[in-house]
Amino acid sequence: MKQYASPMPTQTDVKLKFKPLSKKVVSAALQFSLSCIFLRE
């Protein structure tokens, strides 16, 4: 997670590729946006 952390609010696109465990599945991937905001008390 520290590679996505920064002092300013940011939004980063992340794509994870998975290894299929079944012969019926050729490929699998998950794509999402990660938003990070630091809160100080």
Q: Can you give the pLDDT at residue 12?
A: 86
Classify residue 6: in a domain, yes or no.
Answer: yes
Do 10 and 38 touch, CB atoms closer than 8 A? no
Classify residue 41: in a domain, yes or no.
Answer: no
Is the pLDDT higher at 23 or at 40? 23
Whether pLDDT at 5 is above 90: no
**What domain count does the chain have?**
1
Whether pLDDT at 29 is above 90: yes
Average confidence (pLDDT) over 20-26: 92
Is the pLDDT higher at 19 or at 8? 19
Give the domain range for residue 10. Answer: 2-36
Do 14 and 35 touch, CB atoms closer than 8 A? no
Q: Rounded distance, CA 8 to CA 23, Å?
A: 44
Classify residue 11: in a domain, yes or no.
Answer: yes
Q: Can you give the pLDDT at residue 3?
A: 65
